[in-house]
Amino acid sequence: MKIALIAHDKKKEDMVRFVTAYRDVFKEHDLFATGTTGKRIIDEVSLSVHRFNSGPLGGDQEIGALVSRNEMDMILFFRDPLTPQPHEPDVTALIRLADVYQIPLATNMGTAELLIKGLKEGHLSWRKLIHEQGEE
């Protein structure tokens, strides 16, 4: 599965800790991330990550483009709801696209843990069916 990892500045440490805790699950999947988040995961967790631009420089939109083509299976976006974000319209657009295309999306660690445990146990295999239907 293709998993996008995004974290606002004050949530990057949480994302690194989360990916470290579930490294055995993440290493089995294709990881994508916005700029600094991806770099930190590469450097600190030693996983391969396809990096996009930082969120404020279009990274959220790059991930959104993959969502709109049904080329992303899950998004973990650790948002900081207490700090104004200059690219909030891009964040809102990405969340909207996840809803439109029925992409599982977690915006906090609690929900992300449920998604990752579900992924590990095979509860997200319906995404494979969607990919197979797109190939017909």
Positions annotated as catalytic residues are: 60
Backbone angles phi, psi at 106, to 5 degrees: -115, 135
CA distance 123 to 128: 11
The SS3 call for residue 24 is helix
**How far is Cα of residue 128 from the mean position of the Cα atoms in its chain?**
17
